[in-house]
Amino acid sequence: MLSRIANNLFWMGRYLERAESMTRFTKVNYFSALDGPIAISRDLALKAILRMNGTNLTDQSEEDTLQHVTFARDNGNSVISSVVAARENGRSARDVISAELWESINKYYHFVQDYKVDDYKKTHLFDFSQRANDMVTVIKGKVDSTLVHDETWDVIKAGLFVERAIQILRTVQIKYEDIEMLAKEDSSIAVRSYQVATLLDTLESFDISKRHCTGAPDLTSALQFLILQPEFPRSFLFCFDKVRFHIDRLSQAKYPAKDSVEYFIDKHLSRMKYMVVDEVETDVTGTITQLTNLMYEIAGKIEQQYMS
Partner 1 sequence: MLKDYTCDEVLFDEMLAKSTSAVAHYKKFVKQFGEYDKQDFLRLKDEAKTQFFNEGITFATYNNNAEGTERIFPFDLIPRIIPAKEWDTIEKGLIQRNMAINAFLEDLYHDKKILKDGVVPHELIHTSNNLLVQMHGINPPGGIYNHISGTDVIRHSDGNYYVLEDNVRVPSGVSYVLANRNSLKKTLPKLFRQCKVQLVKEYPDQLLQMLHTVAPQGVDEPTCVVLTPGMYNSAYFEHSFLAQSMGVELVEGRDLFVEKNFVYMKTIYGPKRVDVIYRRVDDLFIDPLEFRSDSALGTAGLMQAYRAGNVALVNAPGTGVADDKAVYIYMPEIIKYYLGEEAILRNVPTYRCEKDDDFKYVMENVHQLVVKPVDESGGYGISIGTELTKAQIEEVKQTVKANRRKYIAQPIMSLSVHPTYIEEADTFEPRHIDLRTFCLLGKDFQYVLPGGLTRVALKKGTLIVNSSQGGGSKDTWILS
Sites of contact with partner 1 (CB under 8 A): 1-6, 84, 88, 91-92, 94-96, 99, 102-103, 106-107, 110, 151, 155, 250, 252, 306-307
- Which among 35, 29, 297 has a CA at the least distance from the CA of 171? 29
Q: Please say which residue, 9 or 228, places its beta carbon nearer to partner 1.
A: 9
In the 3-class helix/strand/coil scheme, how is 164-178 assigned residue by residue?
Answer: HHHHHHHHHHHHHHH
- Which among 17, 13, 4 has a CA at the least distance from the CA of 234? 17
Q: Please say which residue, 201 or 262, places its beta carbon nearer to partner 1.
A: 262
In the complex, what is the shortest distance from the CB of residue 114 to partner 1, in angstroms, rounded to a whole number? 11
Q: How far is CA 233 from CA 35, 140, 181, 189, 239, in A?
A: 29, 13, 29, 28, 7
Q: Please say which residue, 31 or 111, places its beta carbon nearer to partner 1.
A: 111
In the complex, what is the shortest distance from the CB of residue 305 to partner 1, in angstroms, rounded to a whole number? 9
Q: Please say which residue, 103 or 180, places its beta carbon nearer to partner 1.
A: 103
3-state secondary structure of 74: coil
With b for 16 or more beta-carbon neighbours within 10 A and e for fewer, the 149-188 pattern comes to eebbbbbbbbbbbbbbbbbbbbbbbbbbebbeebeeeeee
Alpha-carbon distance 82 to 80, whole Å? 5
Residues 80 and 72: beta-carbon distance below 8 Å: yes
Q: Please say which residue, 103 or 248, places its beta carbon nearer to partner 1.
A: 103
Q: Please say which residue, 88 or 204, places its beta carbon nearer to partner 1.
A: 88
In the complex, what is the shortest distance from the CB of residue 100 to partner 1, in angstroms, rounded to a whole number? 10
Alpha-carbon distance 152 to 302, whole Å? 14
In the complex, what is the shortest distance from the CB of residue 151 to partner 1, in angstroms, rounded to a whole number? 6
Q: Please say which residue, 89 or 171, places its beta carbon nearer to partner 1.
A: 89
Alpha-carbon distance 289 to 296, whole Å? 11
In the complex, what is the shortest distance from the CB of residue 43 to partner 1, in angstroms, rounded to a whole number? 34
In the complex, what is the shortest distance from the CB of residue 86 to partner 1, in angstroms, rounded to a whole number? 12
In the complex, what is the shortest distance from the CB of residue 235 to partner 1, in angstroms, rounded to a whole number? 29
Q: Please say which residue, 237 or 250, places its beta carbon nearer to partner 1.
A: 250
Alpha-carbon distance 26 to 32, whole Å? 10
In the complex, what is the shortest distance from the CB of residue 102 to partner 1, in angstroms, rounded to a whole number? 7
Alpha-carbon distance 225 to 207, whole Å? 12
